[in-house]
Structure 1
Amino acid sequence: MTAHALGQELEQLAVSERAALVREIETSGAFGADPEWREAFGTVPRHLFVPYYYVGGARGYERRWGESPDPRARERWLRGAYEDVPLATRLRDGELLSSSSQPSLMAEMLAELRVGDGDRVLEVGAGTGYNAALLSYRLGDERVTTVDLDPEITESARRHLADAGYHPTVVTGDGARGVPERAPFDRIIATCELASVPRAWIAQCRPGARILTPLATGLLALTVGESGQAEGNFLHNPAYFVPLRGTDRRAPEPVALGGVPTRARENDLFRFLLALTRAALDPQEAYALWEREGRPGRDRYGVTVGGEQTWAWLDDPEGPYAWPLPGSSGPTLIGT
């Protein structure tokens, strides 16, 4: 599906729907940290990156695609491509493998990435290629690299990007290992969930680089220091992404919540703390901490990556509450 394959009426509809999406994102405040992203979202045609997608319903997933012989179906596909919702783009045995993220969340993440002219950016999780296209529009093809483990995903992302007129570097590989041949990077943005922060990313960054990654249902913003240590806080908002796929990355075991009140079990902020402390605290200890500290929001937590240790903390990396992330020998929580 290329721009030329659309009829004139659908082309005009795409322009108006794209403008409406930009207005919706702007109203949400997602462009707040960097309003220059408004132009990229108003220019890059999202529909070219989702030639088909799946919409969940009572009878399972409905496939919408841009080459349906039914003109009404094509219009539904196009309008859906510009709704401010995530779109499932790849399924296997009922499991979601890849998606196009909610545009307002993408806008917020890109704004919080705080890119500058000349920055070199690595995106981990190529998805449909849409995010890489937005980065290429802003920074230029030569400064953008996107990586994904699945060759089918990278091939389709490369094709979508070419159809839209963008040609960043698309790499097939394990995103947790970065892309050393394209380093050093000034910014790294991940669009998939991880259990911890890969040290390879930090090694491939310049001092002062910014890393934005989903972690424990939050968005973590790290700054890389001169010594190779990285540190930073979570943003305030929740974020749910498809997990990074690769070797030795298993789904976490479920935790027993006996003794934890129902109001806490159902609270998003408590469940964030559970995910963040899974390697160090049992749910009852996490609940005691959560209540004692006033049910803190995500932005009171942070992460430090230094040497062989990676640890999360509440309020202060040198404060009384710190615990290791999975796979790390970081400090043990104290002050309980």
Structure 2
Amino acid sequence: MGAHELDRDGQDEGRGLDGLDDLAASARAELVAEIDASGAWTGDPVWREAFLVVPRHLFVPYYYVGVMDGYERRWSESPDARGRERWLRGVYADTPLATRLHDGELVSSSSQPSLMALMLAELEVADGDRVLEIGTGTGYNAALLAHRLGDDDLVTTVDLEPEITEAARRHLAVAGFRPVVVTGDGAGGVPERAPFDRIIATCTLRSIPPAWLAQCRPGARVLAPLATGLIALTVRDAGQAEGRFLHTPAYFVPLRGGGPEPEPAPLGGVPRPARDHELFRFLLALTRSALAPQEAYALWEREGRPPRDRYGITVSGGREWAWLDEPEGPYAWPLR
């Protein structure tokens, strides 16, 4: 089928498994074993139980896979038993799933489970923490947080699109979770639910929205995708935060509502191997408002092709900048 937005039918996503419950349980256990082997939650193994208990298939009643002439939908209500089994096995594969398309463009997805596990472990959640999630998606991540914290009211999740938040509420209710789901611009946070101890974003940013820091308690942790990486910030107060990138790459749908993406700069003069190197692409994304690609390439080679965890971000005094090695070192670039 061609790419298009699927009309929601309002059916109970918990139905239609037709005896696939055992397969779902075994597939979930296999996924957990795969995440175990990846080491994603080594820093906080309590997340293992959440992934073992929370049923991902209730949050992904359908998804799209790329085929020769567009996209094919796999769904829980397929009239063919083999189609339903293929849908279920795909749900529990350690891969991202395209869940919403509009005019052929991906607008929402369910992230790769092992990356979700890594991000949740790196969020360093403690009992009693109030958590804000930016980018509700299917609701699966919010369910994992609610299970971990044992109190639905500690979890707030926000998304710009009413169709996404409405569907997430249904998925969460079917799975037995009721965190607070808000329809709104994630860049503005959710001030009526503040203050927060943790903020996690599941969409790519260009810079850190000031409203997030203003809604955090001192000492809060913010984890967000930015420039194909994951930045982990410690919040000092409403106007100050600092932290480094994790080593891992991360590719997410951009935060909606932030305006059009800037056009990429010409890469003339940059050798082709560098153009295709994911660490150079990270540096390009991080410095695109401050360095020409040729300048970024010279720096990248001079500094020994630095990994992501040598870079960081500081927010202070109304400024926000990225840096290499040290916040006040020789390499720093404004983000806004």
Q: TM-score, normalised by structure 2?
A: 0.95
Partner Cα distance (1:284, 1:295) in 2: 14
Q: Deviations over 1:50-106 (max 9, x none)?
A: 001101122321101101111111111111110000000000110001000000000
Q: How does 1:174-213 map to 2 (within 5 A)?
A: 174-213=185-224
Q: Deviations over 1:90-138 (max 9, x none)?
A: 0011000100000000000000000000000000000000000000001
Structure 2 distance, partners of 1:57, 1:265, is 27
Within 5 Å, give how 1:225-240 maps onto structure 2: 225-226=236-237, 228-240=239-251
CA contact (8 A) 2:279 2:306 kept: yes
Paired position in structure 2 for 1:68: 78
Task: Quote how far apart the aligned CAs of 1:297 are.
Answer: 0.4
Q: Letter of the 2:58 partner, please give it.
A: L
1:228 shift after superposition: 3.5
TM-score of the superposed pair, with normalisation by structure 1? 0.95
SS of 1:110's equivalent in the other structure is helix
Measured in 1, the distance between the counterparts of 2:106 and 2:13 equals 25
Q: Is the 8 A contact 2:214 2:237 kept in 1?
A: no
The one-letter code sitting in structure 1 at the alignment partner of 2:318 is E
> 1:79 and 2:89 equivalent?
yes
Does the 8 Å CA contact 2:229/2:250 hold for their aligned counterparts? yes
1:13-68 deviations in whole A, cap 9, x for unaligned? 10000000000011011111110000000000000000011011223211011011
Q: Is 2:168 the counterpart of 1:157?
A: yes
Check whether the contact 2:96–2:109 (CA below 8 A) recurs between aligned residues. yes
Distance 1:150 1:242 in 2: 14
Q: Residue 257 of structure 1 aligns with which residue?
A: 267
In the alignment, structure 1 residue 29 sits paired with structure 2 residue 53: no
How much does 1:6 deviate? 2.6
Shift of 1:3: 3.7
Match of 2:153 among 121, 125, 142: 142
Q: CA deviation at 1:225?
A: 0.9
Tell me how far 1:261 sits from its aligned partner.
1.0
* Kept in 1: contact 2:215–2:238 (CA 8 A): no
2:63 partner SS: strand
Structure 2: segments with no counterpart, 5+ residues: 1-11
Counterpart for residue 183 of structure 2: 172
Cα offset, 1:320, TM superposition: 1.0
Task: Output the aligned Cα RMSD.
Answer: 1.0
Identical aligned residues as a percent: 74
**Alpha-carbon distance in structure 2 between the residues aligned to 1:95 and 1:59:** 15
Note if 1:292 corresponds to 2:298. no
1:313 aligns with 2:331: no
Alpha-carbon separation, structure 1, partners of 2:248 and 2:292: 24
Is contact 1:2-1:164 (8 Å) kept?
no
Secondary structure of the residue aligned to 1:225 is: strand
Please give the alpha-carbon distance, in whole angstroms, between the structure 2 residues aligned to 1:128 and 1:226: 32
1 CA distance for matches of 2:202 and 2:236?
Answer: 23
Task: Give the total of aligned pairs.
Answer: 324
Q: Which amino acid aligns with 2:226?
A: L
The question of whether the paired residues in 1 share the 8 Å contact of 2:13 and 2:61 is answered with: no
CA contact (8 A) 2:244 2:313 kept: yes
Deviation of 1:307 after TM superposition, in Å, equals 2.7
* 1:324 partnered with 2:315: no
How far apart, CA to CA, are the structure 2 residues paired with 1:238 and 1:123? 20
Say whether 1:14 aligns with 2:24.
yes
Q: Does 1:126 align with 2:130?
A: no
